[in-house]
Amino acid sequence: MQKFHSTVSRRDFMKFMGITAAGLGAAGLVAPAFHDLDELAASTKGNQRRPWYVKEREFYNPTVETDWAVMQRRDPTNTGQQTEMWAKYYGQKRADEASAKGAANVKQWTANKEPGFTYRALALQKSVTRGWPAYVSLGWGGPTTNGTWTKGGGKAYTGVQSPEERGEAKWTGTPEENSQLMNAFMRYCGNAISGYGPLDTDSREYKQIISTNIKHNAAQKVVFEDVPAGYETSTKRVIPTSHQYYLVNWEMMSHDLSRTTPAQGGLFNSSDHVATILKPSTFNFLRYLGYGYVGGGSDDGTPFVEGASAILTGVCEGSRNNVFSLTPEYGPIGRLHNYVTNLPLAATKPIDAGMFKFCYTCGKCANNCPSGSISTASEPTWEIPDINGIPSTMHNRGTKEFWSDGALCRMWRTEYGTSCNKCWGECTFTTNSRAMVHSMIKTTIATASISPLNSFFAKMGDTFGYGTDDQKAEEWWDYSLPILGFDSTVVAFDGGYRKTL
């Protein structure tokens, strides 16, 4: 049923429909039929919902009193944005001097390192970008400029100036200060949850989370070399040995679009819009500070086993479904990206919110997977099962997990035609967090070890109709959804004002 944002609109609509409040139940069954433009204008059907206390006024009657008889069309060049207007009202001399005075002020405040003009503040100002020029893309070692552009005489794009190019020292901070710096910067650029890990010699040799080669180009091996910056050739992608830290970003995607799968599976899968700002901006930020950012190219060019890096750094817990990992705040509905850097970062630890244990008794994703690709085992195993009778080379031994059939999943998605992704929308943790009951359930799951309530909670998801439904792809249009489809406040504490992210 259509919702209304003011009592005035509700009354108007009921008058329009020719019904009384008592007949409201029937109104939902009546398709509106407009007979002329006045009737159409009186409808609130297309209005976005606003707070309950907002009243609507008549057309052309805003709260600013207006005399339409004297109003003229205006010349848009006559605004305070134009220097001509400064000169007209305050004199040419002052208008001419304004830019130079402002630049001198900023120079002075920067030299004094006044609040808001410190090294990190300037890095923030210079680094955030809504995207690089169209002829530039983010490659393994940083921006790569289209060959046609450089052949035509265009200069290769390098991002913001490095400290060397600016003639100043690089940023120095403790690993804890640096992690805090990256948390704040990346959150501003759209990241939800950050994690950091060490990539020292020990972890490279014994804890194998770095891939041997690049997924979309098996010929390219991932190797370490004693070089100042990352680079790639047709046979290798190089991580400098000085780059001993890695960053993990987890960006939110749209909860409600996940429930419109499999119909909108492809669109849902690309609903990590913020990555287009986050990735180039993070490259810029590290470059401004004087540090590297390696491996930030396409999703299938990542140097890591993405889920493993997220689980080791406490961004996520593992799940029954090998397609995604689980965050306590937002379930599985996000996208992972990760990079290597030489900025010293304080490592973050793995977490336990009881979610992987919850998967033992849940299995909702497996029960709803149309291809049967997700394990229905009651316990995780060290042994990797054969895939269709053939030993699996898709999985990496060394963890005790539930093992999905990724080949069947991907093939089925292609056969079906819409990218599926139904398991994301079906996951029991794909719930919104506004209702207090969800917080209470999450707390219970986290504090009890294999709580006997877990299977009850899992069934509740079905009972309350959570999950995907073909009809939700059409109902989606009628909701008053959060911007970009996700509620970013679930990762903010005390409205964002609690110190330390």
Min separation Cβ 296 and ligand SF4, Å: 26
If one asks whether residue 412 binds ligand SF4 (CB under 6 A), the answer comes out as yes
Question: CA–CA separation, 281 vs 169, rounded Å?
Answer: 21
Answer for which of 358, 403, 466, 486 binds ligand SF4 (CB under 6 A) is: 358
> 177 to each of 346, 465, 473, how far by Cα in Å?
8, 45, 44
Min separation Cβ 354 and ligand SF4, Å: 10
Answer for which of 427, 441, 445, 491 binds ligand SF4 (CB under 6 A) is: 427
If one asks whether residue 343 binds ligand SF4 (CB under 6 A), the answer comes out as no
What 3-state DSSP class applies to 102? helix
| Residue 216 DSSP symbol | T
| Residue 47 in tokens | 């209005």
If one asks whether residue 279 binds ligand SF4 (CB under 6 A), the answer comes out as no
If one asks whether residue 336 binds ligand SF4 (CB under 6 A), the answer comes out as no
Min separation Cβ 258 and ligand SF4, Å: 11
Question: CA–CA separation, 73 vs 60, rounded Å?
Answer: 15
Residue 217 backbone dihedrals phi, psi, to 5 degrees: -150, 85
If one asks whether residue 431 binds ligand SF4 (CB under 6 A), the answer comes out as no
| Residue 430 in tokens | 């794909």
If one asks whether residue 364 binds ligand SF4 (CB under 6 A), the answer comes out as yes
Min separation Cβ 430 and ligand SF4, Å: 8
Q: Which stretch binds ligand SF4 (CB under 6 A): 93-101, 158-166, 234-242, 416-424?
A: 416-424
User: Is the CB of residue 267 less than 8 Å from the CB of residue 253?
Assistant: no
Task: Count CB neighbours of 36 within 10 A.
Answer: 7
If one asks whether residue 428 binds ligand SF4 (CB under 6 A), the answer comes out as yes
CB closer to ligand SF4 out of 4 and 356 = 356
User: Is the CB of residue 312 less than 8 Å from the CB of residue 336?
Assistant: no
Query: Cα 357 to the chain's mean position, in Å?
Result: 26
User: Is the CB of residue 204 less than 8 Å from the CB of residue 218?
Assistant: no
Min separation Cβ 439 and ligand SF4, Å: 17
Task: Count CB neighbours of 203 within 10 A.
Answer: 17
State the DSSP string of 352-415. --SHHHHHHH--HHHHH-TT--S---SS-BSSPPPBTTB--SSS-SSS-B----HHHHHHHHHH
CB closer to ligand SF4 out of 208 and 367 = 367
Answer for which of 373, 431, 451, 454 binds ligand SF4 (CB under 6 A) is: 373
Q: Which stretch binds ligand SF4 (CB under 6 A): 24-32, 177-185, 206-214, 406-414?
A: 406-414
Answer for which of 259, 287, 335, 422 binds ligand SF4 (CB under 6 A) is: 422
If one asks whether residue 319 binds ligand SF4 (CB under 6 A), the answer comes out as yes
If one asks whether residue 418 binds ligand SF4 (CB under 6 A), the answer comes out as no
Exposure class string for 237-261: b at 16+ Cβ within 10 A, else e: bbbbeebbbbbbbbbbbbbbbbbbb
Min separation Cβ 396 and ligand SF4, Å: 18
State the DSSP string of 409-430. HHHHHHHHSS---HHHHH-TT-
* Ramachandran area for residue 421 (φ above 0: left; ψ -120 to 50: alpha; else beta): left
Task: Count CB neighbours of 71 within 10 A.
Answer: 8
Min separation Cβ 278 and ligand SF4, Å: 25
CB closer to ligand SF4 out of 316 and 365 = 365
∠ Cα 253 255 259 (to 5°):
125
If one asks whether residue 264 binds ligand SF4 (CB under 6 A), the answer comes out as no
* Percent of residues in the chain assigned helix, strand, coil, to nearest 5: 40, 10, 50
CB closer to ligand SF4 out of 313 and 421 = 421
> 148 to each of 90, 135, 139, 234, 297, how far by Cα in Å?
49, 9, 16, 19, 20
Min separation Cβ 434 and ligand SF4, Å: 20
Answer for which of 160, 420, 441, 491 binds ligand SF4 (CB under 6 A) is: 420
Largest interatomic CA distance in the chain: 85
CB closer to ligand SF4 out of 160 and 365 = 365
If one asks whether residue 333 binds ligand SF4 (CB under 6 A), the answer comes out as no
If one asks whether residue 311 binds ligand SF4 (CB under 6 A), the answer comes out as no
CB closer to ligand SF4 out of 179 and 375 = 375
If one asks whether residue 375 binds ligand SF4 (CB under 6 A), the answer comes out as no
CB closer to ligand SF4 out of 166 and 215 = 215
CB closer to ligand SF4 out of 325 and 342 = 325
> 345 to each of 138, 186, 194, 199, 447, how far by Cα in Å?
23, 14, 11, 11, 30
Q: Which stretch binds ligand SF4 (CB under 6 A): 12-20, 138-146, 415-423, 478-486?
A: 415-423
Q: How many residues bind ligand SF4, per CB under 6 A?
A: 26
- For the stretch 79-85, contacts whose Cβ atoms lie closer than 8 Å and that sit 24 or more positions apart, written own/partner, are none
CB closer to ligand SF4 out of 97 and 470 = 470
Min separation Cβ 110 and ligand SF4, Å: 50
Q: Which stretch binds ligand SF4 (CB under 6 A): 89-97, 137-145, 368-376, 449-457?
A: 368-376
How many residues does the structure list for the chain? 501
If one asks whether residue 409 binds ligand SF4 (CB under 6 A), the answer comes out as yes
List residues binding ligand SF4 (CB under 6 A).
319-321, 323, 358-359, 362-365, 369-371, 373-374, 409, 412-413, 420-423, 426-429
